[in-house]
Amino acid sequence: MQKLGLTGQSKQPHASDDQMKGISAVLMDGDEIFIDNNAIHAKSRVEIGVKFVGSLEEVPHPRRVVGLWVSLKRFEGGMGYNGVHAFEMWIDSEAQLGYKKLADHVNAMDKAVKGKVDLSLLSPDEVQKFATFLQSIRPDLWENASPAFREAFSAV
């Protein structure tokens, strides 16, 4: 079982406005869905060793990797999923080239941290697969999720 690295608590000994402490990345690469919090620093396992180029046309055989920035919030019933925003990147592992719009990744992450919900980049099948994954790893977070979060996944 994968651990969702979201605690809503800072492990820093000092107080800080660290909004990134409650964000996680869930990636879908083909049929595999996994948590990779290194994506927060653009160092997920699909990004390591990849040179990102300025246009998709420069990537010879791109495969689409889709992801979700997922944030948590403490609700009356306990900790639950709050914000979720989809993002995508295109990777050619053999050529070690990739394309992504970094500004889009950062903006999507910021929106998820702020509790916004947007799955418009995903197909209905992808939404369903992500929903199944999120429900299976932490059913308690799913049960305590914000209404907007749950609604986004039930729209398919």
Report residue 30's pLDDT band, with 50, 70 and 90 as the boundaries: very high
Q: Is the CB of residue 6 less than 8 Å from the CB of residue 108?
A: no
Of 2, 127, 142, nearest to 75 (Cα)?
142
At 61-74, the pLDDT tens digits run 999 999 999 999 99
Segment 5-20 shows an average pLDDT of 45
Cα end-to-end distance, the chain, whole Å: 26
Of 132, 152, 146, nearest to 26 (Cα)?
132
pLDDT at 16 over 60: no
Helix (H, G, I), strand (E, B) or coil at 135: helix
At 114-125, the pLDDT tens digits run 999 999 999 999
- Residue 78's beta-bridge partner residues? 75
Range of lowest pLDDT (83-87, 99-103, 151-155): 151-155
